[in-house]
Amino acid sequence: MMQPRILGDIRIRAMGIADVLAVTDLDQKAFSLPWPQRAFENELTNPMARTWVVDLPNVENQPLIASMIIWLILDEAHIATIALHEQYRRHGIGKVLLAHALLDAYDEGARCSLLEVRRSNEAALALYRSAGFVEVGVRKKYYSDNREDALLMNLDEIKPEVWQSVLSNNSQMKVEGIE
């Protein structure tokens, strides 16, 4: 539970209070409706939340390049947020982080996964579709900034062998610019 995982250049580990400023900054750059810093602080003590960050342990200052929060609700792993630093997108890190978080959730009893995503968020839709999530509903005007609809996406069954193979296929993940 909440064990760190090293995959080549990247490390996935539990978020701590010392990460909150960097996570808030990442979130502000990634979303038009970012979460306030206090929300991340609260998640660290929310018993339902599993909070993850990705950093680069072999780089000075170990910069934070991604964060993710999952809520465990009975047998459901609800993806509350996931964000990658812009420079590190399209390297497969989002998929690997999802794999890690879903496997951890599975170990804790989750068997399906649910999330809301903006209808226009093509990158996120591509990530979730490639991970087997399917659209099961619409929450009309869900986002208060532009009243955009949220699509509700569901992964019926978390299959640990599928996610294990995502992790093993990326066990030597290389991130550009790292010696």
Ligand X SMILES: CC(C)(COP(=O)(O)OP(=O)(O)OC[C@H]1O[C@@H](n2cnc3c(N)ncnc32)[C@H](O)[C@@H]1OP(=O)(O)O)[C@@H](O)C(=O)NCCC(=O)NCCS
Query: What residues are annotated to the active site?
Result: 116, 128
78 binds ligand X (CB under 6 A): no
Tell me which stretch binds ligand X (CB under 6 A): 69-77, 82-90, 103-111, 132-140.
82-90
Cβ of residue 84: shortest distance to ligand X, in angstroms?
Answer: 4
Scan for tokens 């993710």, then name that residue: 68
Q: Does 46 bind ligand X (CB under 6 A)?
A: no
Number of residues that bind ligand X (CB under 6 A): 19
65 binds ligand X (CB under 6 A): no
Give the pair of three-digit tokens for residue 129.
């579709």
Instruction: Check binding of 154 to ligand X (CB under 6 A).
Output: no
Rounded to whole angstroms, the Cα distance separating 114 from 124 reads 13
Using an 8 Å Cβ cutoff, are 31 and 145 in contact?
Answer: no
- Count of CB atoms situated within 10 Å of the CB of 140: 8
Q: How far apart are CA 81 and CA 59, in angstroms?
A: 25
**Interface residues toward ligand X, by CB under 6 A:** 30, 82-84, 89-95, 117, 121-124, 126-127, 130
